[in-house]
Structure 1
Amino acid sequence: MTDYDVLRVFCAANGGYGNELGVVRKGSLIPAQDDRQELAAKLGFSETVFVDDPERGAIDIYTPTLRLPFAGHPCVGAAWLLDVPELVTPAGQVGTRLDGEFTWIEARPEWAPPRTLRQYATAAEVDALPVPPPGEWIYAWSWEDEAAGRIRARAFPGRDDGIEEDEATGAAALLLTAELGRALNIIQGTGSQILTAPQPEGWVEIGGRVILER
């Protein structure tokens, strides 16, 4: 089996929760996309990152069923692990910075795959939602404290690959931030935390805590 690390990205303040991410540091040893896709499916994480060049920050991202030009929690995790000023993805160059306990990336909303952003009246409604059948990718959210920018969210990928709900999804948070036009403090899944902030010229920063699981 190929060596890989497991990170948890967008952890809570106590270090719990977060979305697991597989990282193959020596991605150059698996150059073929088909082989990468096969390994990502075998590992079963919502996303797996292959590091093609650790010094340049060049990475390649896969779900269990498809290759992604960009994804939020893989980029935050890779930024923390590689500690480089930027990441190189098929979508474009992703700025990165470390700020105390948080790792931040800067990306563009148009890089994110399509998502259905569905607002609910209360956090309790979001908490009570059943997992929908496979189909559209739904980001269900509600305000917990609109004045403070606090949001409750859950993410349902709508894929038939065994991943019914994503614990923390940076790309969906990116789209929601762009739509609302303000900084957000999102609690997603069972307790993961995602911070976001709009930037000049349409960019958005996404930040979170990262822990090396194994």
Structure 2
Amino acid sequence: MSLKLRFVQLDVFSTVRFLGNPLAIVHIPEGVELSQSQKQLIAREFNLSETVFLHETSDSNAAVTIDIFTTTEELPFAGHPTIGSGWYLLSQTARKDTITLRTKAGQIPVVRDGGRVVLQVPIDFKVHAPFLQPNLKALQPHLDDKDYMNGKHGAEALVSIVKGMTFILLELTSEEALAKMQPLPTRITAPDLGDWAGLVGVYAFYERLDGVVRTRMFDGTLEDPATGSAASTLAGWLARKNGPGKWNIEIVQGVEMGRRSEIAVKVEIGSDGEVVRVDLGGSAVEAMEGLVCVDS
């Protein structure tokens, strides 16, 4: 006998269907429990960067619990599924403009802001020593020295948004250079990061003259169309260079994949020059819905 669970699939960080970053949201009714292995199998079946399991509640004022899964593991927090879940829940009602999501990383309020939703990103911001990984640039046959802001043999920024989530911020000199980047045959590793050890992604970017930052995110052979954590990391690093104040940074990712994504980040830099707060914003659109059959 199988259990049938309702799901919706959104395209997050876009208002246009079939662009942005897809996200599946599986409804779990009150009184229904799924095991970790069942959730993992469902996430693997969707084969998206993340799948959310949304635990329904009859209390309209209560925080809504969500579980976030990749195809291989559960995550305590990620920007794209949290933005998508918040947008989806707020789109179901006009009576309130804030909803609180309960994640493994804690409770996160999501606020309606026009057509977008905005959330405060949990941060433990750390700028590490500049990092040179020879294989990173050697594995890009279509790029040469002039395509890299720091040259083919220069070190790049290595920055963590929280412990366990670190990005190499690879600055390029043109959108053409960004388009020529290729996925990497293997994950790039960084030196011992101590308490910040964990995921190390490559976030390539180019700052356009109009202020928009164009980006691509690589995790080994995989490219991600929209990455809230990487966008928050890059925005924090760019804002630190600007100095104390509040800075709005617009990031466009996923163009080369045919999944243009628009990510809004607001960063507050304190008088000491450090990152005080990061707010992540984005929209979404519903693309499909259906039922997931789970063996009980």
Q: One fold, TM greater than 0.5?
A: yes
User: CA 1:192 to 1:178, structure 2 compared with 1: closer, same or farther past 3 Å?
Assistant: same
Residues 228, 263 of structure 2: 8 Å contact kept:
yes
Structure 1 spans left out of the alignment, 5+ residues: none
Residues 96, 104 of structure 1: 8 Å contact kept:
yes
Instruction: Provide the rounded CA distance (Å) in 2 between the counterparts of 1:27 and 1:20.
Output: 23
- Secondary structure in structure 2 of the residue aligned to 1:183: strand
The one-letter code sitting in structure 1 at the alignment partner of 2:213 is: I
> What displacement does 1:158 show?
2.2
Residues 17, 287 of structure 2: 8 Å contact kept:
no
> Match for residue 208 of structure 2?
144
The one-letter code sitting in structure 2 at the alignment partner of 1:100 is: G
Cα-to-partner distance string for 1:174-200 (whole Å, 9 max, x where unaligned) = 111221223211110122111110147
> Match for residue 109 of structure 2?
95
Residues 71, 170 of structure 1: 8 Å contact kept:
yes
> What displacement does 1:166 show?
0.8
Moved more, 78-87 or 59-68: 78-87
User: How many percent of aligned residue pairs carry the same amino acid?
Assistant: 30
Instruction: Provide the rounded CA distance (Å) in 2 between the counterparts of 1:189 and 1:27.
Output: 34
**Matching of residue 85 in structure 1 with residue 99 in structure 2:** yes
Q: How does 1:56-71 map to 2 (within 5 A)?
A: 56-71=63-78
Moved more, 171-180 or 197-206: 197-206
- Secondary structure in structure 1 of the residue aligned to 2:85: helix
> Match for residue 197 of structure 1?
266
**Matching of residue 210 in structure 1 with residue 274 in structure 2:** no
Structure 2 spans left out of the alignment, 5+ residues: 91-97, 125-161, 189-200, 240-246, 270-274, 289-296
Cα-to-partner distance string for 1:28-82 (whole Å, 9 max, x where unaligned) = 6343222211110111011001112554121110111111111011000000112
The one-letter code sitting in structure 1 at the alignment partner of 2:113 is: D
Of 133, 140, 143, which residue of structure 1 is paired with 2:185? 133
Moved more, 150-159 or 196-205: 196-205
The one-letter code sitting in structure 1 at the alignment partner of 2:27 is: R
**Moved >6 Å (runs of 4+):** none
Moved more, 81-90 or 109-118: 109-118
> What displacement does 1:93 show?
2.1
Q: How does 1:24-63 map to 2 (within 5 A)?
A: 24-26=26-28, 29-54=32-57, 55-63=62-70
The one-letter code sitting in structure 2 at the alignment partner of 1:175 is: T
Of 224, 230, 248, which residue of structure 2 is paired with 1:183? 248
Larger Rg: 2
Of 221, 225, 229, which residue of structure 2 is paired with 1:171? 229
> What displacement does 1:17 show?
1.5
Moved more, 200-209 or 167-176: 200-209
The root-mean-square deviation of aligned C-alpha atoms, in Å, is 2.2
